[in-house]
Structure 1
Amino acid sequence: MQKNGSSLYPTLDAPKEPLYSEFRALPHASPDSMMIMAMFRIQYDALIFERSTSFRGEYVAMPTLEIEIKDTNGIIRGRIQWKDSVFAQTFEQSNDTKGYVFGMRSVILQRNHYVVTLALLDKGRVIKKFRLPSIALREIGQPMFTSGNPFSNVFTPDIYNGNIPFGSTRQYAVFPLSSSISVTSATLNRQRANEEYSHHVKPITSTRTELRNNASIMPENLESSASFQPFPLLINEANGLQVLIVQFPDNVIAPGRYSLVLHHGEKHGKQDSTRFDFACQWEDMPTTLISAEYARQVMKYLLTDDEFDKLSASSDLDIRKKIIDWWKKNDPTPTTIYDEPMTEYFKRADRAFTEFQTITESDGIMTQRGKIALLYGFPKKRDMEIPSQGVRKEIWTYPSPINKRFIFVQQSGKNFVLIAIEDV
């Protein structure tokens, strides 16, 4: 049996979208007009940063987002350009694949069907360009998903290309409606959960809905500068409009495909319905979980030899199923689909991989410091000493409830070694 996964990690790929966007058609005060609202977030790692002389950050990028709006005849009816300075405090932040900057813009147009083309550029380089499906002002607008409670009249939308993120928070959908629509209920359907979660999902129960009369969705501020946080939306009073809030049942959303069906009105003696399809995706999955075999190697500190061998399988999917099953059996809250202890463990592994790398140990997870960091977390108190003869010493102290001190030493040219564990 071999538990060395060091050679696997450098080959792992952690693809991230450079640009996420949400476009919504919203009513305007003029009945012949409509607002097209663009919300977007841009990945730090996709941008070209240079040294900055500003107090706002050590590095700066100047991305441009160009939005072109055409009618069904191909005539350009509107252009929106967003350009701003994006600052990074450190070199690491400028290369962060999980860090994003947010923006928002809008345009007022005549009510019609439009096609939107979106292009993200930086220093003349096209980072991403794509065309969106037709956008129009409809009696039932496209939902805005959020994990922030919209019943408070303020919510922060998920900007996720029309999908929702996998996580531990409650999920909602907020719909703009015309006054002619009478929604009686909403049904959430699971089309397909990712196979590794198929044994852990439970039947979907009913949703909670609330219909607000004389209300509309509006941005708090459309012309804000680049932000580290998404911009909030408001549910305001507005005559002749409605807002529907749908609260999803708890602990039923696993990565996979879903549909949300709104039941409304009567048509030819039957109730009419409108369906919206979306996906749940684990965007911020720890990198060390992407390869199932490497994730098995990373778990070696938690497992007996027999347990480690039992997690082995012939396919990536089968290993992943076994990993999730193992964590569920040891989860203090097994009824929840999102496993916080598993996520925390592998997030520690992501950090340990680079933080404890040395010339002789390319995978920081497989070091003695990495082992302690994965089992106990990273210490808040970490003292470093360099005594004589070039011997380095690190002292990690963990307060209650761990109450331990770990002492590592490194001889010149050698690896860090754990030499003592003390009670504190």
Structure 2
Amino acid sequence: MKKTIFYIFIFLFSYLSAQSQMLNKRDNNLIRQYGFSFYTVADSMSDSIRVLSYLSVPNNVLQFIKNDTKFEAGYEATLSIKEKKGSQLGRKNWVNTLVTNEYLESISKEIYTIHFAEFKVPIGNYIISAELLDKDSNESGLRFKELNLSKKSSEIELYSPFFIDYLSGKWGLNKNEIPLFQNFHTDKITRPSVFISGKVKNSPYELDVTVLNAKKKELWKKTFQSETDEGYFHQRIIIPEDVAKQGLRKRVDIVLRQEGKKKKTSVILAVSRQGISGSISDISQAIQNMRYILKDDEWKKLSKSKSDEQETLFLEYWAAKDPTPETPNNELMNEYFSRVNYSNFNFKGYSQGWKTDMGMIYILFGPPEDLEVYNDPISRVYSQRWHYYRINKFFDFVDEQGFGDYRLSTPFFRGQSW
């Protein structure tokens, strides 16, 4: 087993090395990796809603051209909204040129330009699109998102909440307020505020706000009472900092109550910590996910440790395997846990995706280099063969029941019986 784990890490390192070499060449799909978000906010008009849409352009998705001692990039950005089965209702376009003196700034993911557009529309179903055109490379990206709002009449409504960040300018909320697009960082959490809006009658109403950790344990709960004579409300609720800093991922449940009626929604409060992959929401669960790569003594040490020791031991383990210790990112950890997340979303069975046979192979070896699929509905035989040419190996999976629960035809090692 130790030898197998050794080869798995060698394979992971070689995979990351190959990815790095590919990144040195400009990826044609890079232009599509811009940020695109929208948020719904209650409006003073009872039959309409405000849609706040944002397109963020990181420098690294653009092709900067060296001009004398400077680097320049030109692009065109567009945000628009249309009826799902109808015509366009709104559109906003920008033509922009970016200039920097530093090459590293021209390829930075952390430096970005945000564009904002607000659309006021009746309650209904819409498609919101964000388009980006690089004027130098002529590469373009187009992304769509759906907004579905029930036309069914209701005396009270509660729209999707979001956390507030702060950036100089006007972004559709109070001055310098902007929706938070990324996770909170532990060291920078200050008075985290969740923005809540909805439609109500002109009478008193209550908002119940509850914060739950990853194991659904209640961390904090409070009821807020208010009243309006405008038929709608905008409310900012501050989550205590000590609550926000507990763990990496929490769910904030919000319940609106008025005159015996109620509406419920929730939002995730995600926190990033230095040295921990953004794909991780709970350290104890992350340790469980590592069963495929831990030696028996490492597994025993990590899994049996006390909760207050687990994070330290977890960080020590991954620090020893960091391919670039001089940088804040641990690419090996990021790759491993992104595969865990992918497995949970894409592989199904009678257990979590990462515990399935397909999940295990994907986590250990990554996406197959070639895929053969055989489906015969008559004989009810469904199979896949995953090829990994770099290690001269393939894996056969068979779904004997036809429900998508693919099992390895030849067992591969498992850390334990699940």
TM-score by length of 2: 0.51
- SS of the residue aligned with 1:62? strand
Mapped to 1, the partners of 2:124 and 2:278 lie a distance apart of 43
> Is the contact made by 2:249 and 2:269 (CA closer than 8 Å) also made in structure 1?
yes
> Is the contact made by 1:188 and 1:248 (CA closer than 8 Å) also made in structure 2?
no
1:67 aligns with 2:79: yes
Letter in 1 for 2:309: K
Distance change in 2, residues 1:10/1:45 (3 Å): farther
Distance change in 2, residues 1:276/1:256 (3 Å): same
Distance change in 2, residues 1:156/1:325 (3 Å): farther
Displacement, 1:174? 0.9
Mapped to 2, the partners of 1:285 and 1:63 lie a distance apart of 33
1:125 aligns with 2:143: no
Residue of structure 1 equivalent to 2:258: 265
Mapped to 2, the partners of 1:212 and 1:90 lie a distance apart of 53
Mapped to 2, the partners of 1:107 and 1:260 lie a distance apart of 27
Letter in 2 for 1:251: V
Displacement, 1:95? 1.7
Letter in 1 for 2:201: S
1:243 aligns with 2:255: no
1:42 aligns with 2:53: no
> Is the contact made by 2:38 and 2:51 (CA closer than 8 Å) also made in structure 1?
yes
Displacement, 1:129? 1.5
**Which structure 2 segments of 5+ residues have no match?**
24-29, 168-172, 281-289, 329-418
Displacement, 1:205? 1.6
Displacement, 1:128? 5.0
Mapped to 2, the partners of 1:144 and 1:189 lie a distance apart of 14
> Is the contact made by 1:72 and 1:113 (CA closer than 8 Å) also made in structure 2?
yes
> Is the contact made by 1:60 and 1:86 (CA closer than 8 Å) also made in structure 2?
yes
Displacement, 1:145? 0.8
Residue of structure 2 equivalent to 1:143: 161
Residue of structure 2 equivalent to 1:186: 208
Displacement, 1:100? 2.7
Select the structure that is richer in helix. Answer: 2
**Which structure 1 segments of 5+ residues have no match?**
215-238, 293-311, 333-338, 355-424
Displacement, 1:188? 2.9
Mapped to 2, the partners of 1:315 and 1:129 lie a distance apart of 37
Displacement, 1:139? 3.8
Q: Which has the higher contact order (CA 8 A, sep 6+)?
A: 1
Displacement, 1:275? 1.4
Letter in 2 for 1:167: T
Distance change in 2, residues 1:246/1:136 (3 Å): farther
Residue of structure 2 equivalent to 1:329: 309
Mapped to 1, the partners of 2:163 and 2:91 lie a distance apart of 26
Distance change in 2, residues 1:69/1:188 (3 Å): same
Distance change in 2, residues 1:31/1:165 (3 Å): same
Letter in 2 for 1:315: I
What pairs with 1:223-302 in structure 2 (closer than 5 Å)? 241-249=232-240, 250-251=242-243, 254-256=247-249, 258-267=251-260, 271-278=261-268, 280=270, 282=272, 286=275
Residue of structure 2 equivalent to 1:227: none
> Is the contact made by 2:78 and 2:91 (CA closer than 8 Å) also made in structure 1?
yes
- SS of the residue aligned with 1:188? strand
Letter in 2 for 1:21: F
What pairs with 1:89-238 in structure 2 (closer than 5 Å)? 89-109=101-121, 112-123=124-135, 124-134=138-148, 139-146=157-164, 156-160=177-181, 164-165=183-184, 167-168=186-187, 169=189, 170-180=191-201, 182-188=204-210, 190=212, 193=214, 203-207=218-222, 209=224, 211=226, 213=228
1:19 aligns with 2:34: yes
Letter in 2 for 1:173: V
Mapped to 2, the partners of 1:189 and 1:291 lie a distance apart of 20
Mapped to 2, the partners of 1:285 and 1:276 lie a distance apart of 26
- SS of the residue aligned with 1:69? strand
- SS of the residue aligned with 1:74? coil
TM-score by length of 1: 0.50
Distance change in 2, residues 1:323/1:36 (3 Å): same
- SS of the residue aligned with 1:251? helix
Distance change in 2, residues 1:148/1:7 (3 Å): same
> Is the contact made by 2:254 and 2:264 (CA closer than 8 Å) also made in structure 1?
yes
Displacement, 1:330? 9.6
Distance change in 2, residues 1:291/1:73 (3 Å): closer
Could you give the per-residue CA deviations for residues 268-300 of structure 1, whole angstroms, max 9, x where no partner exists? xxx412213446364x865x85899xxxxxxxx
Residue of structure 2 equivalent to 1:306: none
Displacement, 1:49? 1.5
Aligned residues with identical type, % of pairs: 12
> Is the contact made by 2:163 and 2:193 (CA closer than 8 Å) also made in structure 1?
yes
- SS of the residue aligned with 1:352? coil
Residue of structure 2 equivalent to 1:364: none
